Amino acid sequence: MNKKVAKRVACFAAASLIVFSGTSVIAADGKLSVAEITQNFPAAGLSLGFGNMTAVADLDTAKADEDKDTVKAKENDDKVESNTVMAGVSADVREVVLTSKKAKEDSEFADIAIAQVNDYVNIRSLPSEDGEVLGKLYNNSAATVLEEEGDWYKIKSGNVEGYVKAEFVVRDDPELAEKVRTRIAEVTTETLRVRKEASTDAPIMDLIPEGDTLIVKDESIEGWVGVVVGEKVGYVSTEFVDISSKYVQAESKEEEAARLKAEENAKKKAAADAKAAQAKSAAQAAANNNKQSSNKQSSEKNSSSAASSGGGSGSAVASYALQFVGNPYVYGGSSLTSGTDCSGFVMSVYSAFGVGLPHQSGAQRGCGYGVSVGEAQPGDIMCYSGHVGIYIGNGQMVHASDPSTGIIVSGIGSPIAVRRILG
């Protein structure tokens, strides 16, 4: 090998080391064969190995023909230089491919800002406290940062776009964002089977209708997700659900006003429904008393019983619901005696008091008005991911649980909402 070719070989090895050292294309044994290189980087037409950095192919030819004229050696040298450049381009492409997966995983949290305040932070029309208040970003609510301006972030959250003081939000913190988000599984099949374990052989816990949503708690098993149903966690196939992340968004001034008005109207309706249900219950009790013996003791007992039930109050609803404990669970059913599902149970119990409710757990979460768990009273609807029950007091509820247990009484666990229908 003449000196000029030897010099080119050394440069070629050094260039190869620089081009590939930052990528993940090195084989387990520290070498990359000619076949592997030409397969992965066809544009390069490159023949080199890692570890020993041994030049092959064109360079071997150059060595064998080292006695050839200077013109031939120069042609081979130029080819080496060209291949080295092309190898760099191919390596860069591979590096982009290898990092694209991680970039996709991180993209959900890119430029996400989470409010960390006692209650809420105002969203203003200008990056100044003199700006008009456009809405509120409540604690642990999320927004997308559009740009920075001094000590302010321009954000978009829900239907609100404006400025918040940077000190009241935490930006680009995937751990916090993951903590405050809720993973949701939307049912995409007519009837979703929720199983006790991640297997098609496992017993069915519940049946969920298409369009309903479930809260995801476990994504560690390939092809399955653990979802919350009532107080329990069951498993569903990912084939039949769409999984997404949900963040609490900002509320505009107009949305807040509409919400407060709707809650006020719901309270008025609940009071009217309670009054009507109480009148209906009293009339029914009077009719029953007329059919019974005129014995004074019996009459006083019945009267006392009616009074203690609370007439048309939530307590009366809870007492009425309890008499069906032990009856069967039937998906899609609404019979309190021969079989009902969870939403059918709540619907049928309230129907007895003259209150019409939809036959779907998700829709029932929008009925009446919301109260906190600590404010819950007997008769309130306890709402869960894909499940509902009727609160009976003392931290317990009555509900159509699942096909294996039917209508039961159990603890309320952690409901995602509490809706008051009467009172």
Asked which of 151, 178, 205 is the last residue of a domain, the reply is 178
In terms of domains, do 117 and 20 share one?
no
The pLDDT tens digits for 75-122 are 555 544 444 444 444 444 444 444 444 554 557 788 999 999 999 999
Query: What average pLDDT does range 136-160 have in this prediction?
Result: 96
In terms of domains, do 93 and 11 share one?
yes
In terms of domains, do 140 and 32 share one?
no
The pLDDT tens digits for 300-311 are 444 333 333 334
Q: Catalytic site residue 383?
A: no
In terms of domains, do 307 and 414 share one?
yes
pLDDT band at 288 (very low <50, low <70, confident <90, very high): low
Q: Domain containing 139: what range?
A: 112-178
What's the rounded Cα separation, in Å, for the pair 21 and 39? 19
pLDDT at residue 74 in the model: 55
Q: How many domains does the chain have?
A: 4
In terms of domains, do 265 and 316 share one?
yes
Q: pTM of the full predicted structure?
A: 0.58
pLDDT surpasses 80 at 65: no
In terms of domains, do 293 and 408 share one?
yes
In terms of domains, do 159 and 12 share one?
no
The pLDDT tens digits for 216-270 are 999 999 999 999 887 789 999 999 999 999 999 999 999 999 988 888 888 888 7
In terms of domains, do 138 and 269 share one?
no
CATH number at residue 342: 3.90.1720.10
Asked which of 178, 206, 221 is the last residue of a domain, the reply is 178
The pLDDT tens digits for 369-412 are 999 999 999 999 999 888 999 999 999 999 998 888 899 999 99
CATH number at residue 187: 2.30.30.40
Asked which of 79, 106, 133 is the last residue of a domain, the reply is 106
Query: What average pLDDT does range 177-183 have in this prediction?
Result: 92
Higher-confidence residue: 51 or 269? 269
Q: Catalytic site residue 359?
A: no
In terms of domains, do 413 and 298 share one?
yes
In terms of domains, do 319 and 398 share one?
yes
In terms of domains, do 78 and 210 share one?
no
In terms of domains, do 89 and 237 share one?
no
